[in-house]
Structure 1
Amino acid sequence: MRAAAASTDKAAALRGLATAVDTRDFQGGPTTAAGMAAPPPPSSTPASLLAPNGRSSAPPNNGREEGAVPNGGLRHANNKQQTRGNNNSKVVLVKHRKPAAPVSWQAALFVSVVLNAGLLLHHYVNTSTAPPLHHHNQEHQACLVHLDAAATSSSVISGVMRRASKAAEAPSTGKPAVTATSVINLDHGDPTMFEEFWRATGDAAEIVIPGWQTMSYFSDVGNVCWFLEPGFDHEVRRLHRLVGNAAVDDGYHVLVGTGSTQLFMAALFALSPPNAVSPMNVVSTAPYYSSYPAVTDFLQSGLFRWAGDANSFQGDNYIELVCSPNNPDGTIREAVLSSGSGVAVHDLAYYWPQYTAITKRADHDIMLFTVSKSTGHAGTRIGWALVKDREVAKKMTKFIELNTIGVSKDSQLRAAKVLRAVSDAYELPEARTEEHRLFDYGRRKMVERWRMLRDTAAASGIFSLPDETSGYCNFTKEMAATNPAFAWLRCDREDVEDCAGFLRGHKILTRSGSQFGADPRYVRVSMLDRDDAYDIFVRRLASLK
C-alpha cells in the first residue's frame, strides 16, 4: 500500500510539473499551450505594454501597437481597431496579432530542463531501482551505476557481473594468455607463479594510501638511508629474524633501492676508489648472472669495469659478485678470491626457503635481497641491502639520492604490508591456515615443478640437468632439496650446438648459456611462470627427441 501511495504521489508531482510548463510564462505572465506568450485580455483601462522586467507601462501616443520582444526591443502592430461607443471609450489594441518572435534561448533552456525533469520523474515512477553491483572478492564498494531502461534487464546486469568477475580473475601481467600453440617465453624470471597464492590471501597484503600521505621526499632524516620508510625497515628485519637467512642486528644498516639492481650499482659506486689510476675490476664465477656484465659496463664508467670470470682473474683490486644460490645454475656459492684489497658483494636474492635449505645466518659485509624473488612482487620494484660499514652505507645512499632522489615510498609501504603478511602467517598461526604460508606454498610448487622437469629430461634422452642437492633447513627443521628458481638445462644432442636456438625453433624462449659466460649448449629456463605456461613447456619439451 505504501508503494502504491508513493507511486501515486510521484505521478501527481509529474502532472504538476507538466501543468507548470503549460500555464506559466517565463517572465511571470500566462502562456498558450505551445509555450508562446498569450495576448493581454481586453480591459477598460488603457492598454499596457509588458516591459522586459515584467512590469506594465503606458502605450506611447504614436498610434502603433508596441510590446516587449524577447530581446527587450519593441514590436509594432500593423492592424488596429477603434471601438464603437461613447466619446470616452478608449482605443483597444488589435485582437489579431502578428506571429510571435522566436522564443529566447533562456526560455528554450527552461523548457528543456523542465521536460527532462518530467521524463526522469516518469522513469522513477514506472521503474524500480537497479541493485548495486558488488564483487565478493573485493572490499571496495562498487560504484552505483544509473542504467537506462534497456540496461535494467536481467541479461544486461548478468553480463556486467560476468565481466567484473572475469576482470578480477585476469592475470596481473601484461603477457597474453598462452595456448597450446603459443610461444612460451621463459627467458625472464617473471615470478607470476605466486599470483595464485596472493589471490588466496584475501586482504592480508592490501593497502590503501590516503592522498595526503607519502608526499614528502623524506622518511626518516635521522637514518643513514633518509628515504627508507620505518615500517619497511621493521618488516625487513622481522622477516630475516623469522627465516634466519641473514643477520640484521649488530649494527647492520638497511638500505632500500629500486630493485636489487640499483643497490648493486650503488655498491659498485661505493666500493670503487674515486681517484684510482684505473677502474676497479668487477668479477664473478662463471656461470654468472647475465646482468652483471651488462649493468657494470652500461655507462662505461671510469670507476669500474667488467673483468669476467673470477676463477681466471689475476690481480689484487677487485669487487667479487657472489650470487648464492647462483643464478643461473642454483649452486651454493662462496667467494673464490681472497685479497686484502678485494671486496665481495653477496647477492642473496634466492636464499629463501622455497628455493633452498636455510643452512646458516649469512653475515657478509654487503648482502642484497629483493621482493621480486622472495614474495614474487617484481612489479613493486623494491630491493634492500644489509650493510655493515656505515661509510659504505652512506655512499650507497648518496648514489641512490643522485640517481633517483630516493625510492618510491608508496612501493615501500606496499612491500612492507606484503612482508608483514608473510611473517604474520608464521608468527600468528591462529589468524591464518597453512595455505596462507608463502614459503610452504612456494616449496610445494617448486618441488612439483622440478619433479616434472627432471622426469621429462630423463625420458627425452637429449636433455640433462645438474644433480639435485639437499641440506638441513634451519627454518623448516627438516632436510630440504634445492629447487632453484631457474633450470640450467643442457642439450646433449650432437647436432645441436646452440640450445637456445634449437628450443626457439619449437616456440620455447630461453636465455643462452653464452650470456652467462658458459657453453651455448646450456640454457637458463625460468621455473616461475604461471601453471598454464609451465605445463605447456614441459609437454613441448617431452615431444622433442
Structure 2
Amino acid sequence: MGAAWIAIVTARLSQHDDPVPWLSPKLGQARTMRWLTPEEVDLTLADPKVADPEVVEDPGVADPSMVCPVACIVISGPGGDPTMFEAYWKKMSERSAVTLAGSQSLSYNSDTKNLSWYLEPKLEQEIRRLHAIVSNVAVEEDDHYYIVVGTGSSQLIQAAFYALSQPPDAGDRPTTVVCAAPYYSAYPEITDLVRSRCFKWGGDARSFERDDEPFIELVTTPNNPDGAIREPVVNRPHQGKVVYDLAYYWPHFTPITSPANHDLMLFTISKCTGHAGSRIGWALVRDKEVAKKMIKFVDVSTIGVSKDSQLRAAKILETVSDSCSTAADIENFFVFSRNILKERWNRLRELVKVADLFTLLKYPIQYCRFAKDMADTIPAFGWIESKGEEDCAELLKKHKILGRCGTKFGVGKQFARISLVSKDEEFNLLLQRLSIIQGTDLNH
C-alpha cells in the first residue's frame, strides 16, 4: 500500500472542545493529520494492534481505514519539524500578520543599489536589529557584514562552497569539505548532490590529513546533533576556509557568551523562530568578493529569493525583537521558548536517569549576555546513547519512535537523535514510549 493512501492521526489524550465526528471516543480527539512516510507505513502495517474491532465497528466512522489508535501512532522524531513554537505564534497571530497586495512583489529586484539586489530592505533591517538585541553577532557599523539571503540555509551552504572552493581549472581535485563528527546528517548530501567539480564531501574533519590540499571546514555551533560548542578542528588557516553554521546560536537554545565574529556565518529563521516553511536563511559575509559569488549562486539557481517569504520573515523577526524590549506588552519569545525546552529537558533527564539504558550529554552552565544570568545549553534535539552495542535507532523504532541513527552523523549506531521541538502531544507520547522501553512508570 502506498504512503499516499495512509493517514495518521495524532490523538489527544485529554478532551478537546471540537471533537472530530468520525474519531472513536476512546481515542480522545484528533489534533492533526498528516501522510505517513514509507518507513512509518511499514511500522504501522506491521503492528497487529492496528486491527482494532472497536474502532472499525464504530458507527460514527465514515472511513475506518483513516482511524489510527494511539498504540500505532509513530512518533516521527528525526526531522526536527519545529512545531513547538506554534503555541507562541498563535498568540501573536494579529501582531505578526502580513498582508500583501496583488500589486506587490512583481519585480525580481528589491534594491538595485544593494550588492544583494533581491534582498528586501526591511528584512535586512530586522536581521541586523535582532542580532544587535541578542548580541550573538558583532554587527556594529565598524565591523561590516554583507547579508546574503537564501532559500533556507541549505542553499546558502552550497553557495558558500561555490564561493570558497577552487575553480575547476585550478587543479585536478575539487576542494574537500569536512566537518567534525558527529556532524549534521544533511551535510554529505548537500555537498555531493550535484556532483560538483569544485567541491566534494571529505567526512570527519579529525581524519583530514592532506597537508597539501585546500579544504573547507564546516563548524556547527551549537552542534547539530549533540548541542556541543565547537571550534575548528583542522588547524591550517592558510590552506582552508571555515564556514560557521550558527543556526542554533540563539538564547532559547544556548547561552550567548560572546558575539560571533567570523568571516562567514549562516543563520536560518526555521531555528530562530520556528518558521521552517518560510524557507529563509541568511549569511553574514565579511569579504565582498565572497558575498558576490554567493549572490551569483542564488541568482543562477533561483533568481533571488521569494519576496513574499522575505516580507513575512521581516515581520516575524520584528515581532521577536519587539518582544525583547523591557517595555514590551507581549511575552518575550526567547524566554517563552526556553521555558518550554527547559521543562522538556528536565522531564527527559528525569526519565532517563531512573533506568540504566540510555545516556544524555551534560552541558556546562555559562553566563548569557542576553539573559544577563547563568544558563545552560538546552538543544533542540536529544542526542541519546544506548548502553552496549545495541542499535539505538532500531531500539526506538521497535516502539514506534523514529530517531535518526548515529551512522547518519558519522558516528556509531549506539547513538540516535530525537527531536524535542514537536508539539506537546507528540513530546508527551515520546516520553511514554521511552518509559515503556525502560520499563519505568511516568507517574512515579
Question: TM-score when scaled to structure 1?
Answer: 0.67
Letter in 2 for 1:484: P
Pick closer, same or farther for the CA change 1:332–1:520 going to 2, 3 Å: same
Take 1:385 and 1:400, find their aligned partners in 2: how far apart are those partners?
12
Alignment pair present for 1:475 and 2:370: yes
Which residue of 2 is the match for residue 194 of structure 1? 85
Pick closer, same or farther for the CA change 1:468–1:162 going to 2, 3 Å: closer
Letter in 1 for 2:397: R
Letter in 2 for 1:395: K
Take 1:313 and 1:263, find their aligned partners in 2: how far apart are those partners?
24
Which residue of 2 is the match for residue 135 of structure 1? none
Counterpart selection for 1:294 from 189, 205, 215: 189
Cα deviation for residue 172 of structure 1 reads: 8.4
Letter in 2 for 1:376: G
Q: Secondary structure in 1 aligned to 2:352?
A: helix
Take 2:32 and 2:114, find their aligned partners in 1: how far apart are those partners?
35
For residues 303-361 of structure 1, give each alpha carbon's deviation from its aligned partner in whole angstroms, at most 9, with x where no partner exists: 00011111110124100000000000000001112220100000000000001000000
Alignment pair present for 1:225 and 2:122: no
Cα deviation for residue 460 of structure 1 reads: 2.3
Q: Secondary structure in 2 aligned to 1:368?
A: strand
CA contact (8 A) 2:138 2:261 kept: yes
Which residue of 2 is the match for residue 463 of structure 1? 358
Take 1:409 and 1:344, find their aligned partners in 2: how far apart are those partners?
30
Alignment pair present for 1:391 and 2:285: no
Matches within 5 A, 1:18-167: none
Letter in 1 for 2:73: S
Cα deviation for residue 224 of structure 1 reads: 1.1
Take 2:257 and 2:31, find their aligned partners in 1: how far apart are those partners?
35
- Pairwise CA RMSD: 2.0
Which residue of 1 is the match for residue 413 of structure 2? 520
Alignment pair present for 1:417 and 2:417: no
Letter in 1 for 2:275: H
Take 1:329 and 1:481, find their aligned partners in 2: how far apart are those partners?
14
Take 1:432 and 1:178, find their aligned partners in 2: how far apart are those partners?
42
CA contact (8 A) 2:251 2:370 kept: yes
Q: Secondary structure in 1 aligned to 2:430?
A: helix
Take 2:419 and 2:144, find their aligned partners in 1: how far apart are those partners?
36
Question: TM-score when scaled to structure 2?
Answer: 0.82
Which residue of 2 is the match for residue 284 of structure 1? 179
Matches within 5 A, 1:354-503: 354-427=252-325, 429-433=326-330, 436-492=331-387, 494=388, 497-503=390-396
Cα deviation for residue 235 of structure 1 reads: 0.2
Counterpart selection for 1:317 from 214, 232, 235: 214
Unaligned stretches of 5+ residues in structure 2:
1-16, 21-28, 37-67, 439-444
CA contact (8 A) 1:320 1:344 kept: yes
Which residue of 2 is the match for residue 263 of structure 1? 156
Letter in 1 for 2:112: V
Which residue of 2 is the match for residue 504 of structure 1? 397
Which residue of 1 is the match for residue 50 of structure 2? none
Letter in 1 for 2:368: C
Pick closer, same or farther for the CA change 1:292–1:179 going to 2, 3 Å: same
CA contact (8 A) 1:357 1:473 kept: yes
Pick closer, same or farther for the CA change 1:226–1:241 going to 2, 3 Å: same
Which residue of 1 is the match for residue 96 of structure 2? 205
Letter in 1 for 2:274: G
Q: Aligned pairs, how many? A: 376
Take 1:178 and 1:425, find their aligned partners in 2: how far apart are those partners?
40
CA contact (8 A) 1:256 1:407 kept: yes
CA contact (8 A) 2:324 2:333 kept: no
Take 1:173 and 1:408, find their aligned partners in 2: how far apart are those partners?
28
Take 1:171 and 1:353, find their aligned partners in 2: how far apart are those partners?
30
Counterpart selection for 1:214 from 97, 102, 105: 105
Take 2:134 and 2:83, find their aligned partners in 1: how far apart are those partners?
23
Letter in 1 for 2:224: N
Take 2:340 and 2:266, find their aligned partners in 1: how far apart are those partners?
25
Take 1:350 and 1:439, find their aligned partners in 2: how far apart are those partners?
12
CA contact (8 A) 1:367 1:385 kept: yes
Cα deviation for residue 162 of structure 1 reads: 6.7
Pick closer, same or farther for the CA change 1:219–1:419 going to 2, 3 Å: same
Which residue of 1 is the match for residue 246 of structure 2? 348
Unaligned stretches of 5+ residues in structure 1:
1-160
CA contact (8 A) 2:352 2:358 kept: yes
CA contact (8 A) 1:180 1:536 kept: no
Take 1:425 and 1:458, find their aligned partners in 2: how far apart are those partners?
36
Higher relative contact order, chain-length normalized (CA < 8 Å, sep 6+):
2
Take 1:237 and 1:318, find their aligned partners in 2: how far apart are those partners?
30
Take 1:424 and 1:459, find their aligned partners in 2: how far apart are those partners?
42
Take 1:531 and 1:502, find their aligned partners in 2: how far apart are those partners?
23
Which residue of 2 is the match for residue 304 of structure 1? 199
Letter in 2 for 1:355: F
Take 2:394 and 2:435, find their aligned partners in 1: how far apart are those partners?
17
Letter in 1 for 2:111: D
Cα deviation for residue 201 of structure 1 reads: 1.8
Letter in 2 for 1:338: N
CA contact (8 A) 2:78 2:417 kept: yes
Which residue of 1 is the match for residue 234 of structure 2? 337
Take 1:387 and 1:174, find their aligned partners in 2: how far apart are those partners?
39
Take 2:198 and 2:126, find their aligned partners in 1: how far apart are those partners?
34
Pick closer, same or farther for the CA change 1:532–1:351 going to 2, 3 Å: same
Runs of 4+ in structure 1 displaced over 3 angstroms? 161-164, 169-181
Counterpart selection for 2:429 from 529, 536, 539: 536
CA contact (8 A) 2:19 2:30 kept: no
The sequence identity of aligned pairs, in percent, is 48
CA contact (8 A) 1:490 1:499 kept: yes
Pick closer, same or farther for the CA change 1:430–1:472 going to 2, 3 Å: closer
Cα deviation for residue 174 of structure 1 reads: 4.3
Alignment pair present for 1:328 and 2:225: yes
